[in-house]
Amino acid sequence: MTSPLLEVRGLVKQFPVRKNLFGRATTFVSAVDGIDFDLFEGETLGVVGESGCGKSTTARLLMHLIEPTAGTIRFGGRTVGTAELPVKEFRRQVQMVFQDSYASLNPRLTVEESIAFGPTVHGVSQREANARALSLLERVGLDPRRFAGRFTHELSGGQRQRVNIARALALQPRILVLDEAVSALDKSVEAQVLNLLADLKEAFGLTYLFISHDLEVVRFMSTRVLVMYLGRVAELGPTEALYTGSRHPYTTALLGSLLSMDPDHRTAAPPITGDPPNPIDPPPGCRFHTRCAYAEGVCSARMPALLAGAADAAPHWVACHMHAPRSGHSKLKAGAAPETA
């Protein structure tokens, strides 16, 4: 593959949990705790994981809606937030669609005004911005003559999410961050919006970061998939390789939790027991070792590095001691002769 459009390195975000007498934070929760990944032009990178794993925090960090505690984000080789690439300029390239379609639109603006607002802030003339809004409405499947003058409360959930997508596209970004963008929609409407996203991606040559808790939807949408667990990357690889040959025990458990849709082959036993641990007090070493069937001494002692197999046609990264040579894990996978990250 070519050089990545977006490079994320060592990204960390800590939120204060408890403050002392003088208002200084004494306890932190590391919502995102040192993650690295690349986003390549034209791909859809799916991000999956359970609540509290840091997927939404990652999205907000990418958008600079919150400031990272540590780490860098580079866009097209330029570091975001420095003189090379100021945040405002970066935001024009990366736009976001949120889960709550209602909360993300201004209730006092009409649909047309909502979409045209962004471009005018970035120096496009009002006329040009309005024209762009109308053509985008058409593009997302809402007839401009019927919808341009409406307010957000006059729209259904699916229509509102279409407006949000149009609003995100109004700045002609190259990357769209979709944070559970279809999760609140009814199933019959969800498919329409997924199809729309696929159409727009082709038409505008977009790159997607697609965050969802729905593994089936992510499989349908993504070229590559990133699995997060308690603020860390557990696995990252090409979609089908990951879905059919998962390497991290957590990914395997997550996929094993998918229900079969076959009344004759119902799930017999849960793939893993227990709940995800509290992120305020994450377990040492591999974050997953408390729920992992293969956990050994090394797993609680050292945090595994994210490594790709040497024989991978396309790199398939995993952070697990069973895939790290010389880790000392007794169940070392034979095919895992990794290169270093």
Identify the H or E element spanning 274: none
Out of 69, 120, 192, 300, point to the residue binding other proteins (CB under 8 A): 192
Q: Which is nearer to other proteins, 105 or 170 (CB)?
A: 105
Stretch that binds other proteins, among 27-35, 89-97, 105-113, 184-192 (CB under 8 A): 184-192
- Measure the CA–CA gap between 250 and 283, rounded to whole angstroms: 15
Is 194 a binding residue for other proteins by CB under 8 A? The answer is yes
Q: Which is nearer to other proteins, 75 or 229 (CB)?
A: 229
10 Å Cβ neighbour count for 51? 9
Out of 83, 269, 313, 334, point to the residue binding other proteins (CB under 8 A): 269
Contact, 242 vs 78, CB < 8 A? Answer: no
Distances (CA, A) of 248 to 54, 220, 235, 269, 299: 18, 21, 6, 19, 13
Q: Which is nearer to other proteins, 24 or 265 (CB)?
A: 265
Is 143 a binding residue for other proteins by CB under 8 A? The answer is no
- Measure the CA–CA gap between 41 and 205, rounded to whole angstroms: 8
Q: Which is nearer to other proteins, 130 or 251 (CB)?
A: 251
The count of residues interacting with other proteins (CB under 8 A) is 49
Is 40 a binding residue for other proteins by CB under 8 A? The answer is no
**Min dist. Cβ of residue 192 to other proteins (A):** 4
Closest to 282 (Cα-Cα) out of 218, 228, 211: 228
Residue holding tokens 């895992």? Answer: 336
Is 197 a binding residue for other proteins by CB under 8 A? The answer is no
- DSSP states of 28-56 as a string? EEEEEEEEEEEE-TT-EEEEE--TTSSHH
At how many degrees (to 10) do helices 111-121 and 157-169 cross? 20
Contact, 148 vs 134, CB < 8 A? Answer: yes
- DSSP states of 163-211 as a string? HHHHHHHTT--SEEEEESTTTTS-HHHHHHHHHHHHHHHHHHT-EEEEE
Q: Which is nearer to other proteins, 188 or 340 (CB)?
A: 188
Q: Which is nearer to other proteins, 66 or 203 (CB)?
A: 203
Residues 229-268 that bind other proteins (CB under 8 A): 239-240, 243-244, 253-254, 257-264, 266-267
Is 278 a binding residue for other proteins by CB under 8 A? The answer is yes
Out of 78, 213, 302, 333, point to the residue binding other proteins (CB under 8 A): 213
- Measure the CA–CA gap between 47 and 306, rounded to whole angstroms: 16
10 Å Cβ neighbour count for 242? 27
Residues 154-173 that bind other proteins (CB under 8 A): 156-159
Is 281 a binding residue for other proteins by CB under 8 A? The answer is no
Q: Which is nearer to other proteins, 132 or 289 (CB)?
A: 289
The residues binding other proteins (CB under 8 A) are 50-51, 156-159, 186-192, 194-195, 198-199, 213, 215-217, 219-220, 223, 239-240, 243-244, 253-254, 257-264, 266-267, 269-276, 278
